[in-house]
Chain A
């Protein structure tokens, strides 16, 4: 197990990157603590897999360095870094039995056969495939195959970290839950440093202690699931996490008051920003649908649609010409002359898409 420092790493797939846009990974500077469970969350093409492959040395970064427990490993090979990685599509060695598949990484490293046997049997128990040990690996189902891929990572007890690259993509929804909770258990029991790449927020939020949200080749926010939900640092995080995503609307700020069209909203404090006032940049107000209160007082809205999701309803409404969403309880009803209030606890102010603190 190791602490992984990613120091100012930039990566481009082009031979001569010039502009920022040439970089798949603009700049990542982050520390993955020893024994932490991290999720890298972001849309396709945001650089999460690139970052993962840089950590496992499948890619060499264009700039920057990597430290494992403070030791520079930037120029070490995948083998020397001693990393386990599970890929999106299960990788199994067709011609081998399940047992041999798991033994493969150990035998490649010249581990004595007695130890191999002990470790493989332990791992088979762990991933619940003990009764399949003697079977050829190619006849298995997708989730069993993925368990083998996973098992090949777990079988090496001395790995510095286990990396997951959207490992549950090809797995049935029901098995996803099972495998995810098994991973979580393994993490608790053995304290592996785990980095889990996904574009599925549920997966990220349930798996990780710390979620690293990536957008357009950079990290936009690192935090616990609650922090990401309550205080998104960037409007992208607001959109991306939560369903439906955060309502974001341009506002004008005057002290502790925000103005949307003809409506005035009292803020919990005065935002500490100069943007908007000096005529540069945009100022936006973000509020999650969960903090939009629908009732008989506040700002008048026009309801366009009510989506009943079973556990709650999502109300799509029009406020001063802008679409907003609100979440209401399953048995609440929509008033005849609907109005909305924004719960001050859920209001965030963004200048040029980045969150600004509010003063007293």
Chain B
């Protein structure tokens, strides 16, 4: 087959290439540079090879943070996705309730992340926080500052409060796009409420759900601001996720080499997971 080579087209992608180079490729290369060297300041660098990577991959601290991240992502997906679907199913489809619900649902999404953290940090305090005070008043011993279990519960509830709306809105968009005729046909066919959900609503939501899961997974996997504001990674290291650990290493201890190695590994993990999701989604599309 004859193929015309026309390299002029490259000029059209050049602006993007330059932009991406400055915003991503060059910083990434600096990180690569740091990750294989050791420095004591004064711009003096010593070759370290794969030392930082070996240290990182054999450190319990890293794997513990990783496990925490995965457990956290899994828990919030397991709560937010079913809950989001449930709320979306029960939202009004017409009338004055629609804008009211949509605005209420959008509110948590509009709040800056560190504000969300601050809200819950205060909310959960057992001296002045509404939640913390009354939960303790009920006789339940709740203290997210000291008890790792309470800290986890607080962070998970906070994330559910903050992000379930996203799943709801996406599912709702999928639901309202289903023509009435489907529900009418289901009635004619004598379908139960469950069958309507299983064979009409769920298949129509499948695409948006996949996107919701992808977004929620990525966001929760790189969660930083909210737990940092609420617990600062504690008590102990119990809520120290990869991102928090990374910042502690890089900015707290100024261990640039190990931090760079960690960034790269973190980056590769996210790249891998994104690729998995992408493949699943495109396979799903191809099947359609």
Residues of A within 8 A of B (CB): 53, 56, 58, 77-79, 83-85, 87-89, 91, 93-96, 104-105, 108-109, 138, 149, 152-153
Contacts and interface: CB of A to CB of B under 8 A. Distances in A.
Among A85, A87, A89, A91, max chain B CB count under 10 A is at A91
B167 to A, nearest CB: 21
Contacts, number: 53
A108 B179 contact: no
A93 B186 CA distance: 9
A152 B184 contact: no
Contact of A89 (B181, B195, B199): B181
A109 B190 contact: yes
Given A84-B188, A91-B185, A104 B288 contact: no
Contact of B184 (A87, A94, A95, A104): A87
Given A93-B199, A93-B200, A96-B199, A105 B181 contact: no
Contacts of B203: 93-95
Contacts of A83: 188
A87 B182 CA distance: 9
B188 A89 contact: no
11 contacts: A58-B184, A78-B187, A79-B190, A91-B184, A104-B191, A104-B199, A105-B189, A105-B190, A108-B191, A109-B190, A138-B288
B192 interface: yes
Contacts of B179: 89
Interface in B148-186: 179, 181-182, 184-185
Interface in B212-270: none
Contact of A91 (B182, B192, B195, B288): B182
Contacts of B200: 93
B185 A87 contact: yes
A87 B190 contact: no
A85 B190 contact: no
B190 A108 contact: yes
Closest 6 CB pairs of A and B: A91-B185, A105-B189, A108-B190, A87-B181, A78-B187, A93-B199
Contacts of A152: 185, 188-189
Identify the interface centre among B179, B185, B199, B200: most chain A CB within 10 Å of its CB.
Answer: B185
A96 B189 CA distance: 14
Contacts of A109: 190
Interface residues of B, number: 17
A95 B191 CA distance: 15
B193 to A, nearest CB: 11
B187 to A, nearest CB: 4
A58 B188 CA distance: 9
Given A89-B179, A94-B203, A138-B288, A149 B187 contact: no
B187 A58 contact: yes
Contacts of A91: 181-182, 184-185
Nearest to B202: A95
A56 B182 CA distance: 15
Given A91-B181, A91-B182, A138-B288, A85 B188 contact: yes
A94 to B, nearest CB: 5
Contacts of A104: 189, 191, 195, 199
A321 to B, nearest CB: 48
Given A85-B184, A95-B199, A152-B189, 15 more contacts: A58-B187, A58-B188, A79-B190, A83-B188, A84-B188, A87-B184, A89-B181, A91-B182, A94-B203, A94-B204, A104-B189, A105-B189, A108-B189, A108-B192, A152-B188
A202 B124 CA distance: 72
A177 to B, nearest CB: 24
A137 to B, nearest CB: 11
Contacts of A78: 187-188, 190
Contacts of B191: 104, 108
Interface in B31-48: none
A149 B185 CA distance: 9
B186 to A, nearest CB: 8
A149 B182 CA distance: 11
Contacts of B192: 108
B31 to A, nearest CB: 45
A320 B192 CA distance: 65
Contacts of B184: 53, 58, 85, 87, 91
Contacts of B181: 87-89, 91
A89 B182 CA distance: 9
Nearest to A84: B188
A112 to B, nearest CB: 16
A96 B200 CA distance: 10
Nearest to B181: A87
Contacts of B185: 85, 87, 91, 149, 152
A134 to B, nearest CB: 16
Contacts of B204: 94
A85 B182 CA distance: 12
B127 to A, nearest CB: 53
